[in-house]
Amino acid sequence: MPRRDRVSPFLFVALFAQTAWFADRIFRLNALRFGVLGTARIARRIVADMQSVDAIQVVGIASRDPARARWYADQYGIAQAFDSYDAMLASDSIDAIYIPLPPSLHHDWALAAADAGKHLIVEKPVAMTLAEAQAIDQRCRDRGRQWLDATAWLHHLRTDRIRQSIDAGELGRVQHISVACSFFEPFQSDDHRLKPDLGGGCLLDLGWYAYGMARWAAGRLPVAVQSIGRQDRGIWFRSSSLLDFGDDLTATVNCAYDTATRKWFEIAGDQASIVCDDFTRPWPSKPARFWIHDRAGSAKSETFDGNQEARMLATFADLVSNATAAAAMNQQALDTQQILQTVADGIAS
């Protein structure tokens, strides 16, 4: 009988691994190439999330300190370290920019990025004022570039489910929204959140979540806002507001640097309410969750897995790839900026 040579199973494993490697390389060649403008603490977290998304490659990081840029590039396996922001924007190897700089720097660098032909994700708040945020939006539209604010909770699967519950009438007619975002802990001495000229204060920081949540749940801008606030060290340490959205829908919103950690909301309808105690970011070691309380006192919970930052980034990459307008997302951000300005003007007067 003729001899049959047996093929080692290890050969099949090796061939499969090599094929998978080539497939990944081809896919990565078409990935959205990101540069990170700055080495802020939040940038480190987002870089890890970017590196978990197949449709994105982090190819550069910039700092005004060349040694710092090189250290972060080596630390996170990033190919290029730029010794200036302008050098990064001039690079042909980068398609999109992530801006984690203090709020006072968002406007100028976002405009520069759009002018350089880059798409951009801007940390919240989008800008210091509504006029600045609108200028960013307009410039990106003029240049045919996509932009997105880095408000990750909006992209969680849980958020989709909550919207579905509201739209399906599970709560009945929504009558009131309550939101609170706060923390109380020592700041680092160089934290930009303590510096008025850099956009510090709870209003542009935690208020972006709190007032943004009220706008998202209502689906529109308020017709009237009444606010009070407390200042410390030249920044807003607390803000509380009553918002009237018209058609008998109201909201109460609080954000603060002088209260224990809260990141909750309640959306109250005439048939049931949704309560969530971790909407900005799920508590460590716990799944994302919310409860529906009905009028009889019963409550049911729903839990969700998934990384909201990774989903946000994948959504952005898809928008860029398909040249799909992010109009609704951008309007949510612009409306949030408008509410914050209304609140700031009200409590300052």
Instruction: Give 8's pLDDT tier (boundaries 50, 70, 90).
Output: low
Minimum mean pLDDT among 32-46, 256-270, 326-340: which range? 32-46
Ramachandran assignment for 37, one of left (phi > 0), alpha (psi -120 to 50 degrees), beta (any other): beta
Q: Give the pLDDT score at 18.
A: 53
What residue ranges define each of the domains in the chain, with the CATH number in brackets? 9-150 (3.40.50.720), 153-348 (3.30.360.10)
CA distance 277 to 251: 17
Q: Is residue 243 over pLDDT 60? A: yes
pLDDT for 15 beyond 90: no
Distances (CA, A) of 119 to 37, 84, 146, 217: 13, 18, 5, 28
**Burial grade of 295 (CB within 10 A; 0-12, 13-18, 19 or more):** exposed
Model pLDDT, residue 17: 45
Is residue 5 predicted with pLDDT exceeding 50? yes
Q: Are 130 and 343 in contact, with CB atoms under 8 Å apart?
A: no
For tokens 């080495």, name the residue. Answer: 39
pLDDT tens digits for 214-232?
999 999 999 999 999 999 8
pLDDT, residue 7, reads 52
Average pLDDT, the chain: 92
pLDDT confidence bin for 45, thresholds 50/70/90: confident
pLDDT digits (tens, 9 = 90+) for 177-205: 999 999 997 777 778 899 999 999 999 99
Write the CA distances from 177 to 90, 226, 292, 295, integer angstroms. 45, 15, 14, 16
What global pTM score does this model have? 0.90
Sheet with 299-304, side-by-side order of all strands:
224-232, 235-244, 250-256, 174-182, 262-269, 272-276, 288-294, 299-304
Q: Is the pLDDT of residue 20 over 50?
A: no
Q: Which residue, among 79, 147, 70, has the nearest Cα to 107 in the 3D structure?
A: 147
The average pLDDT across 27-36 equals 84
Q: How confident is the model at residue 55 (pLDDT cuts 50, 70, 90)?
A: very high
pLDDT for residue 230: 95
> What does the pLDDT average to over 35-41?
91
Q: Is the pLDDT of residue 175 over 90?
A: yes
pLDDT cut 90: percent of the chain above it: 85
Out of 18-32, 33-47, 218-232, give the one with best mean pLDDT.
218-232
Residues of the chain with pLDDT > 70, as a percent, come to 91
> pLDDT of 119-164, one tens digit each?
999 999 999 999 999 999 999 999 999 999 999 999 999 999 999 9
